[in-house]
Amino acid sequence: MIKLKNVSYTYPNGVKALRNLNLQIDDGEKVFIGGSTGSGKSTLLRIFNGLIPNFYGGRLEGEVLIYSTKDKKELIKRVYFVSQNVEEQIVSSVVKYEMAFPLMQRGYDFKDAIEIVYDISKKLKIEHLLDKKTHELSDGEKQMILIAEAIACEVDCIVLDEPFAHLHPNISEKILKLILREDKTVILSEHRVEFASYFDREFWFNKPNFYEIELEDGDLGDTVVKADSISFSYGDKVLFDDLSFEFRRGGIYAIIGLNGSGKTTLLKLIAGLLKPKEGSIETKGSVSLAFQYPNYHFSENTVEREVDFNLLKMFELERLAKRHPHSLSSGEAKRLSIAKAFSGDIVLLDEPTAGQDYIFRNKLLEIARKSGKTVIIATHDLRLAKACDGVIDLDKKATFNC
Amino acid sequence: MIRRLLLTANEALATYSHLDARIALISATIVALAVYLSNFNVLISIFAVFISLIACKSPQKILKGLTASIPFILFFSISSYLLSGDLTYVTKTTFGVIALISVGVGILYGTPPEEVVNALVFFKVPYRYAFLIALAFRMFQIYIVDLIHVVEALKMSGEKGLSYYKKLMKTFASIAVLRSLAISEALYSKGFGLENVKSYSRKISKSDVVLLILSSFLLILAIIE
Identify the burial level of A41 via C-beta atoms within 10 angstroms of its C-beta, where 0-12 means exposed, 13-18 middle and 19 or more buried. buried
Is residue A84 within 8 Å of residue A161, measured between CB atoms? yes
Q: Residue B2 pLDDT more than 70? A: no
A residues 56-85 near B, CB within 8 Å?
A: 73, 76-77, 80-83, 85
Q: Mean of the pLDDT values across residues B105-131?
A: 86
Beta bridge partners of A234: A237
Nearest to B189 among A81, A133, A289 (CB): A81
Q: Cβ B156–A110 below 8 Å, yes or no? A: no
Tally of domains in chain A: 2
Residues A237 and A370 placed together within one structural domain of the fold = yes
- Tell me how far apart the 2 most distant CA atoms of chain A are, in Å: 65
Q: Could you say which of B114, B152, B167 has the minimum Cβ distance to residue A97?
A: B114
Higher pLDDT, B96 or B65: B96
Q: Between the CA of residue B196 and those of A52, A222, B116, B185, B201, what are the distances in Å?
A: 24, 66, 17, 20, 17
Q: Which of B135, B156, B196 is opposite residue A271, by nearest beta carbon?
A: B156
Q: Is residue A174 part of a domain?
A: yes
pLDDT band at B13; cut points 50, 70, 90: very low
Buried/exposed code over B132-156 (b: 16+ C-beta within 10 A; e: otherwise): ebbbebbbebbbbbbbbbbbbbbbb
Query: Could you tell me the residue range of the domain that residue A119 belongs to?
Result: 2-204
Whether pLDDT at B20 is above 90: no
Pick A273's closest partner by Cβ from B135, B152, B184: B152
pLDDT band of residue B168 (cuts 50, 70, 90) is very high
Predicted confidence at residue B14, as pLDDT, reads 46
Counts for chain B of helices (H) and strands (E), in that order: 10, 0
Question: Looking at the structure, do residues A105 and A243 belong to the same domain, yes or no?
Answer: no
A144 in B contact zone (CB under 8 Å) = no
Predicted local confidence at residue A399, as pLDDT: 78
Which of the residues B10, B13, B17, B114 would you substitute to probe the A interface, choosing the one with the greatest number of A C-beta atoms within 10 Å?
B114
Q: Which residues of B touch A142 (CB under 8 A)?
A: none
| One domain, residues A74 and A30 | yes
Under the banding of pLDDT at 50, 70 and 90, the label for residue B9 is very low
| B189 to A49: CB separation less than 8 angstroms, yes or no | yes
Q: At residue A313, does pLDDT exceed 80?
A: yes
Measuring CA to CA, which residue among A324, A376, A383 is closest to residue A356? Answer: A383
Task: Using CA coordinates, name the residue in chain A closest to B3.
Answer: A273
Judge whether residue B158 has pLDDT over 90. Answer: no
Average pLDDT, chain B: 86
**For B138, which of A83, A92, A298 is closest by C-beta distance?**
A92
Q: Is residue A316 part of a domain?
A: no
The domain boundary residue, chosen from A171, A204, A237: A204
Determine the pLDDT at residue B167: 94
Give pLDDT, residue B18.
67
Helices B70-84, B87-103: crossing angle, 10 deg rounding: 150
Half-sphere exposure of B32 (CA within 13 A, CB side): 16
**Shortest CA distance from B127: residue in chain A:** A105
Say if residue A78's pLDDT is above 90. yes
Higher pLDDT, A402 or B29: B29
Q: Which of 25-54 (A) contact B at CB < 8 A?
A: 49, 51, 54
Residue B10 pLDDT > 90:
no
With respect to residue A188, please indicate whether it lies within any of the assigned structural domains. yes
Chain B (153-212) residues lying within 8 Å, Cβ to Cβ, of chain A? 153-157, 167-168, 170-171, 174-175, 177-179, 182-200
User: Averaged over A24-47, what is the pLDDT?
Assistant: 92
Residues in a beta bridge with A23? A4
| Nearest residue on chain A to B159, alpha-carbon basis | A299
| Together in a domain, A199 and A236 | no
Read off the pLDDT band of A347 (50, 70, 90). very high
Contact A109 B200 (CB under 8 A): yes
Decide if A92 touches B, using CB distance below 8 A: yes
Per CB-CB distance under 8 Å, the chain B contacts of A87 are 142
- Same structural domain for residues A47 and A132? yes
Say whether A101 and B190 touch across the interface (CB within 8 A).
Answer: yes
Q: How far is CA B8 from CA A53, A137, A271, B69, in A?
A: 42, 19, 23, 10
Q: CB contact, 8 Å: B11 with chain A? A: no
Band (A192; pLDDT cuts 50, 70, 90): confident
* Interface touch A296/B146, C-beta < 8 Å: yes
| CA quadruple A15, A363, A36, A33: dihedral, nearest 10 | -150
pLDDT of A329 higher than 80:
yes
When pLDDT is cut at 50, 70 and 90, the band that residue B6 belongs to is low
Model confidence at A82: pLDDT above 90: yes
- What is the rounded distance in angstroms from the CA atom of residue B146 to the CA atom of residue B3? 11
Name the 3-class secondary structure at B98: helix
CB contact under 8 A, B200 and A298: no
Query: Do residues A140 and A168 touch, judged by C-beta distance below 8 A?
Result: yes
In a domain? residue A215: no
Q: Is the confidence at residue B52, as pLDDT, over 90?
A: no
Picking from A148, A174, A204, the residue at the C-terminal end of a domain is A204
Q: Average pLDDT, stretch B62-71?
A: 84
Q: Which chain B residue shows the shortest CA-CA distance from A114? A: B200
Name the 3-class secondary structure at B192.
coil
For A323, phi then psi, to 5°, come to -75, 160
**Residues A199, A232 within the same domain:** no
pLDDT at A211 over 70: no
What are the start-end ranges of the H helices in A226-282? 263-271
Q: Is B113 on the interface with A (CB under 8 A)?
A: yes
Segment A217-253, tens digit of pLDDT:
878 889 999 999 999 998 888 888 999 999 999 999 9
C-alpha A255/C-alpha A294 separation (Å) is 19
Task: For residues A190 and A245, state if they share a domain.
Answer: no
Residues A138 and A238 grouped into a single domain: no
Q: What is the pLDDT of residue A213?
A: 74
Q: How confident is the model at residue B15 (pLDDT cuts 50, 70, 90)?
A: very low
The neighbouring-strand residues paired with A290 are: A349
Residues of A in contact with B114 (CB under 8 A): 92-94, 97
Quick check: pTM over 0.90? Answer: no
Q: Is the confidence at residue B143, as pLDDT, over 60?
A: yes
CATH of the domain at A384: 3.40.50.300
Which chain A residues are within 8 Å of B165, Cβ to Cβ? none
User: What single letter denotes the amino acid at residue B53?
Assistant: L
* pLDDT band (50, 70, 90) for residue A210: low
Q: Would you call A306 an interface residue with chain B, using a CB distance cutoff of 8 Å?
A: no
Q: What's the gap in Å between the CA of A294 and the closest CA on chain B?
A: 10
Q: Is any Cβ of chain B less than 8 angstroms from the Cβ of A105?
A: yes
Claim to verify: residue A186 and residue A51 sit in the same structural domain: yes
Mean pLDDT of chain A: 91
CB atoms within 10 A of CB A144: 24
In a domain, A305, yes or no: no
Contact B16 A91 (CB under 8 A): no
Q: Are B1 and B188 in contact (CB under 8 A)?
A: no
Same domain assignment for residues A151 and A258: no
Examine the domain organization and report whether A244 and A277 are in the same domain: yes
Residues A198 and A227 in one domain: no
Q: Give B177 to chain A, closest Cα distance, Å.
A: 10
Percent pLDDT > 70 in chain A is: 99
Smallest Cα distance from B48 to chain A, Å: 27
AA identity, residue B194: L
Q: Do A289 and B14 touch (CB under 8 A)?
A: no
B11, pLDDT greater than 60: no
Which of the residue ranges A3-17, B7-21, B84-98, B130-144 would you say has the lowest mean pLDDT? B7-21
Asked whether the beta carbons of A167 and A103 are under 8 A apart, the reply is no
Alpha carbon separation from A14 to A11, A394, B181 (Å, rounded): 5, 45, 19
Residue finishing a domain among A141, A175, A204 = A204
